[in-house]
Amino acid sequence: MSDMPPPPPPPPPGGLTPPPGYVAYGGPGTMGSGVQKIAGVAKALGTLMTIQIPLSLISALLGWQMAGKAADFVAGRISEDDFTSSSRNLLTTLTSLLFLPIAVLTIIWMQRMAANLKAIGRVGLRWSPNWAIFGWFVPPCIIYAIPWLMFTELWRASDPGAMAGDDSWKRGPVSPLVHVWWVLYGLAPLLGFVSAASLFAQIGTSDMLDYAEQLEKYKWMNLGLGLVSAGAAVVYLLLVRQLSARHMAATNES
């Protein structure tokens, strides 16, 4: 009798037996109805951020070099033509061109995650998918306050251990990356408006000497902001990877 196999488990109520290979809704390896995949968008976004990091660093160094040329022009050591030619920074233009695709992918990424959280039954959500678009433009848009708050909610609500219909996820911890991202992207650039306002005022005139003086005056601030921009790109890359992995675990995206 000891060699006999154990009896099979009893069938579920109602006498219905699931077919072979069936996994219940929400089980490991399955995605619920209405859940959108984010892996492809996150990968593309991460690739662009990986490109932006070295470009930001090199652009900051070239900006410092340009400030040196401005000092030479102010001192009369080089001509206006030499200074004008040195101010044409193609790398800065390329870095700026990355802004639009990164912004579009970020909106798509956030919108899908917000929609997924509703689809998997998270209750008490404050930020709807539409805020992934409008949140970047609603005042005070310049400091990205709403995207920061939305990232905070996305992180908490993407807890793989949270249960549908339970709002205890609201009391969960948030990764420091979310707050560091906000400081570097939303708050630190405010310092740049001081130098940017002066530079823009000079660009509107034909006096290159005044422009060069402003560039030299704010060279340390501009270098610091350039390095902050590179650091912000690193932080955002880490945030994209970690939040995506957390969210994919919550939605069972393989």
Cα dihedral across residues 52, 53, 54, 59: positive or negative: positive
Q: How much is the pLDDT for 31?
A: 65
Query: Any idea of the CA torsion for 149, 154, 155, 158, to the nearest 10 degrees?
Result: 160
* 186-231 per-position pLDDT tens digit: 888 777 665 554 455 444 445 777 777 777 888 888 888 889 989 9
**Residue entry with tokens 């951020």:** 49
Question: E-assigned strands of 88-190?
Answer: none
Say which residues have a Cβ less than 8 Å from residue 19's Cβ, sequence separation at least 6: none
Lowest mean pLDDT among 90-99, 157-166, 211-220, 221-230: 90-99
Band of the pLDDT at 79, cuts 50, 70, 90? Answer: confident
Mean pLDDT in residue range 43-50: 97
Residue 166's nearest CA partner among 110, 116, 117 is 117
Lowest mean pLDDT among 19-33, 59-73, 105-119, 173-187: 19-33
Question: Distances from the Cα of 30 to the Cαs of 118, 122, 176, 178, in angstroms?
Answer: 17, 17, 30, 28
Q: Which amino acid is at 43?
A: K
Show me where the domains of the chain are located: 34-251
Q: How much is the pLDDT for 91?
A: 58
**Joined tokens for residue 161:** 């251990």
Cα dihedral across residues 164, 167, 168, 172: positive or negative: positive
